[in-house]
Amino acid sequence: MTAAPASSMTRFSAMEALAGMLSDELVVLSLGGAVDEWYTAAPHLREASLFQQQLGCVTPQALGLAVGLPHRRVVSLDTDGGLLFNLGVLATLGNEQPGNLLVVVWDNERYQSIGGPRTHTSSGTVDLAAIARGAGVVRANTVRDVGAFAAACAAGLADTGAPHVVVAKVDTSPEGHVAAGHPVVRRKHSDGREDTYRFVRHVEATEGVTIMGPSEHN
């Protein structure tokens, strides 16, 4: 059985809207189709984006990055499956209140990377934004169209006093992608270690620091 899309907003159109707002931010993002779509939708941010392949780690890693670089804006591009894997991080965000962190949750109500089995948000009873608010991230909202998504992200990027969570209900079906006239998305051709080095070199260059430096030859 194929369930109806979670929203008429395609993830790619939302990514394009967000990418247009970003310049020197750092991005951490999750696995699956979102990786390849972001690589295509935000070519100017490829060096500044850490492409991960794991559930439950994206927002915690983004939190660590935000804590380490408090003067820098950090964007976590998480997913419904990824956030559901570790809802506890919302409580940590509620306690830590990182003002330089924006969390976007691509909620397509399914585990798309393995073919589309439903996640818990597909039931309509699980409200990730409400869970976030209950955990102390009071600026957490669900959006279903690109205009509302862009406004919520803009508000989050402008607010340096508290973290924001934007739960974006999106259609990630191939049919929706094609119907919206989006470009063909190809698989990103790199692995985790290459992605780490590339991201770290970008942080090193923009922060003037050495993170993965040479050996001391003693």
Partner 1 sequence: MTPTAVQAVIAGLERAGVTVASYLPDSLLEPLYPALDAHPGIRTIPCTNEGEGAAVCGGVFLSGKRAVLCMENSGLRAAAEPLARMGLGSGIPVVMVMSYRGELGENNWWAVPHGITMEPLLAALRIPHRVVREEAGIEQAVVDAYEWSYSAYQHSAVVLGGSVVR
Q: How far is the CB of 98 from partner 1 (least distance, A)?
A: 10
CA 106, CA 27: separation in Å to the nearest integer? 14
* Residues 101-140 contacting partner 1, CB under 8 A: none
Q: Which residues contact 71 (CB under 8 A, 6 or more apart)?
A: 100
Q: How far is the CB of 25 from partner 1 (least distance, A)?
A: 13
Contact status, residue 170 vs residue 35, Cβ threshold 8 Å: no
Q: Does 66 bind partner 1 (CB under 8 A)?
A: yes
Contact status, residue 129 vs residue 141, Cβ threshold 8 Å: yes
Name the DSSP class of 159.
Answer: -
* Complex with partner 1: residue 58 or 143, whichever CB lies closer: 58
* Residues 152-211 contacting partner 1, CB under 8 A: 191-193, 195-197, 199-200, 203-204, 207, 209-211
CA 140 to chain centre: 14
Q: Does 39 bind partner 1 (CB under 8 A)?
A: no
Candidate residues 3, 23, 44, 64; the one interacting with partner 1 per rule CB under 8 A: 64
Q: Does 56 bind partner 1 (CB under 8 A)?
A: yes
Helices (H), the chain: 11-19, 33-41, 58-68, 80-85, 88-96, 128-134, 146-158, 174-179, 192-207
Residues that bind partner 1 (CB under 8 A): 28, 50, 52-54, 56-57, 60-69, 86, 88-89, 91-92, 95-96, 191-193, 195-197, 199-200, 203-204, 207, 209-212, 215
